[in-house]
Amino acid sequence: MRSLVLAGGGMRVAWQAGVVRALEEEGLTFDHVDGASGGIMTAAMMLSGVSGVEMCDRWRGLSASAFTSLLPLHEYLTGPWSLPAIGDADAIVQTVLPRLGVDVERMRRSEMAGTFQIVEFTTKECRALEPADVDLELLAAGMSLPGWLTPLRRGDEVFTDAVWVRDAGVAEAVRRGADEIWLVWCIGNTPSYGEGPLEQYVHMIEMSAMGALLADFELARALGRDFTLHVVAPRHPLPLDPEFYLGRISSDALLAMGYRDAHAYLAGRSADGVPKDATCTRMTDPPVSVRITDRLRGRVGADEVEVTFTVEVPLAAPVSEGSLVGALAIPGEGTVYLADGAVTLAAGALTYAGTVRRGGREVDLRCTRTLRDDPGPDAWGDFTEAMLVIDEDAGTVSAGAGGVARLLASIEPVGAHGLMQRADAVRRFLALLGSVRV
C-alpha cells in the first residue's frame, strides 16, 4: 500500500501542486492520501478528482487576497488582548476551497482513501477524519492556525489546526498498513534560529512538526512496522506566507519550485528511500541572494509563447550556483514547467537553461539576454529582448514596454536580514549586472 502524506505550510502549499503534477507524470498512484494544516487543501483537491495539471491552473487563478476574511469590526475594538484572532476562515470556506475545486460529495465517492488531521481542542485530540466526516467548514478549521484564524465551534467541540500536535499524518499511514510512504514536506528545517516574532513563531511550528514526525517514526519502530520512506522537500526553506501575500513571490513561482524539487528527488531516488530520522527533511539556508522575476512574450517557431523565469542569484558565489524555475505558457497547450534549471551571468549575457515536457517528452529550453549597450541613451532598453530556443525552434521574445523596470522592481533579497543587509544585497546585485554589461 502506498500513502501520500501532505504536510502543512500555509498558503505556500501551492508548491505541493507542482509536486503532485510531477508525481503524476512519473506515473505514481496512491491508495491513501493524508493532509494536515495547509496540506488539507492539496489532499482535498486530489480526493475531489482534481489532477496535478488542473491544480496548478487553479492555483494560478487564485490571488493571496482570496484568503483574507476579517472579523466583525466590534471584535477589533475590544483591543489586542481580547482579540480572538486576526481574521476568520470564511474566505477559505466561501472562496478558496471552491476555487481550488474541492467538492465534498466527490471526495466521499473517491476510490482513494483519504484522511485529514484536525484537532478537537476541548479534548486536545488530533483526529484523522475521513471525507464522510467532514464538510468545507471542518476542512477550513483544520487550516485555522491559532492566533491567525478563529477556530470552528460546534456544540461543545472546538476544531482548529493540528500543526502544534501533528503536521504530517505519517502515523495514520502506518496505521492503515502503508509499506511505502511519500512525504511531501514544505515546512522549513534548518539549524538557523532567526530573530523577530514572525521567524520565532515559525520556528515553534518547525519544532512541533519535526518533533511529531520523529515520534511517528519511533512509534512505527516500536510496533515493528517497517516501511519505505520517500521525501520530497525544497533544498532551501520556502518563502513565508507574508512574501506570497505581499506579492514578493507568486503562485506560479511556487508551483514551478514544487515541480522542480519533485523532479530532482525522482531523478536521484533510491528504491530504499531515505532514512527515517531527523535528516529526512533537512534543508540548508539559502546564501545571500537576490530573487528576480523575468516575464517575456514572443513567437517561437509557429507558437506565441509567454515564459516566466524566477531566478535566485547568489551574491557571494558563482552565479551558476543560483536557482532557476520557470513556466512556459503556449495557447492551446497550457502551462508547463522547467523540470530543472541553471542560470549563468557571464560574457555579457544572462542565460536561463533547463528542460520542459512537451508532447510527452522532455525538450531543452534556453533563453539568452545579451547585456549589450548600443549607442544612445537607452542603456537598459537594450536589455528588453532575448533569444528563446525550445527544442529546435527559436525566436525573439520581449519583456515589452517597461519590462526592464518591472524586472528591476521584482528584485527581492533572499537570505538577507534587516534593512541594511537587504539594501546591500540589492546594491551588490545591480553592481553585478553592471559589471558584465558590454
Q: How far apart are CA 349 and CA 372, in angstroms?
A: 8
Is 129 in contact with 138 (CB distance < 8 Å)?
A: yes
Q: Which residue has the cell 509557429?
A: 302
Tell me, yes or no, if 37 is annotated catalytic: yes
Tell me, yes or no, if 161 is annotated catalytic: no
Q: Which residue has the cell 493540528?
A: 162
DSSP type of residue 149? B
Q: How far apart are CA 262 and CA 234, in angstroms?
A: 8
Q: How far apart are CA 380 and CA 151, in angstroms?
A: 51
CA 219, 122, 96, 196 dihedral sign is negative
Buried b (16+ CB within 10 A) or exposed e, 261-288: bbbbbbeeeeeebbebeeebbebeebbb
Beta-strand (E) ranges in 7-96?
Answer: 32-36
Region of 335 (left: φ > 0; alpha: ψ -120 to 50; beta: rest) is beta
* Active-site residue, selected from the candidate residues 3, 37, 69, 323: 37
Beta bridge partners of 351: 344, 368
- Let me know the angle formed at the C-alpha of 207 by 3 and 89, rounded to the nearest 5 degrees: 70
If one counts every other C-beta atom within 10 angstroms of the C-beta of residue 25, the result is 17
Q: How far apart are CA 38 and CA 140, in angstroms?
A: 9
* Active-site residue, selected from the candidate residues 34, 103, 161, 167: 167
Q: Widest CA span of the chain, in angstroms? A: 75
If one counts every other C-beta atom within 10 angstroms of the C-beta of residue 29, the result is 10
Buried b (16+ CB within 10 A) or exposed e, 175-204: ebebebbbbbbbbbbeeeeeeeeeeeebee
**Which residues are identified as catalytic?**
37, 167
